[in-house]
Amino acid sequence: MPRFSRTALTCLLSALLAAGTYAAPVTLADVKYADSMKLQDSALQLNGAGIRYKAIFKVYTAGLYLEKKASTPAEVFALAGPKRLSITMLREIDSTELGKLFSRGMEDNMDRASFSKLIPGVLRMSQIFSDHKKLEAGDSFMIDWVPGKGTIITVKGVVQGEPFKEPAFFNALLGIWLGNKPADWKLKDALLGKD
């Protein structure tokens, strides 16, 4: 096996970082996001991760995983492959309230006609969170886009019912964090790798 000098290794690492092919794991408020993960046999890499603040309080951390790096919402939405948004709570929250906030966040980032087409899915998603009563610090949930299947919501490690089949549903959910009226501007930038 060839031996590399420290300078050669540094140059190689710098090139990989510049090319965007290397993502380091991220730890936020004691929540670790791996640099990569598998979803339906596809390798995804951490695009970015951040903390959702409400006033001065840390509410949750979020990490966005994609097949390749994306630095704008349009690039994220355009990627056809699997995607994952992973969220871990940092404080207790009423799940019904969280479901309502997600519904409002979707509505705020869509035109009325597009949102009205997704209302059955929005109601089902709200019910999923209502059924859990509350999420406590350390609880996590994932929102996955799996081509050919749809949007899959997993709460505390348990898949919640059938996938949401509408292709627009996942992007509408992502709009809560990446839309023109995101839940948290700093978190939006962090998920897009700009933090």
Residue 20 pLDDT greater than 60, yes or no: no
Instruction: Tell me if 1 is assigned to some domain.
Output: no
**What confidence score (pLDDT) does residue 14 get?**
42
Instruction: Tell me if 9 is assigned to some domain.
Output: no
The number of domains in the chain is 1
Instruction: Tell me if 137 is assigned to some domain.
Output: yes
Instruction: Tell me if 143 is assigned to some domain.
Output: yes
Q: Which structural domain range is residue 52 located in?
A: 24-191
Quote the pTM value: 0.85
Question: 42-86, pLDDT tens digit by residue?
Answer: 999 999 999 999 888 999 999 999 999 999 999 999 999 999 999
**What confidence score (pLDDT) does residue 156 get?**
93
Instruction: Tell me if 18 is assigned to some domain.
Output: no
Token reading at 82: 């699997």
Percent of the chain scored above 90 by pLDDT? 75
Instruction: Tell me if 163 is assigned to some domain.
Output: yes
**What confidence score (pLDDT) does residue 98 get?**
86
Instruction: Tell me if 55 is assigned to some domain.
Output: yes
Residue 3 pLDDT greater than 70, yes or no: no
Residue 130 pLDDT greater than 50, yes or no: yes
**CATH number of the domain that 47 lies in?**
3.50.70.10
**What confidence score (pLDDT) does residue 23 get?**
55
Instruction: Tell me if 16 is assigned to some domain.
Output: no
Give me the chain's average pLDDT, please: 88
Percent of the chain scored above 70 by pLDDT? 88
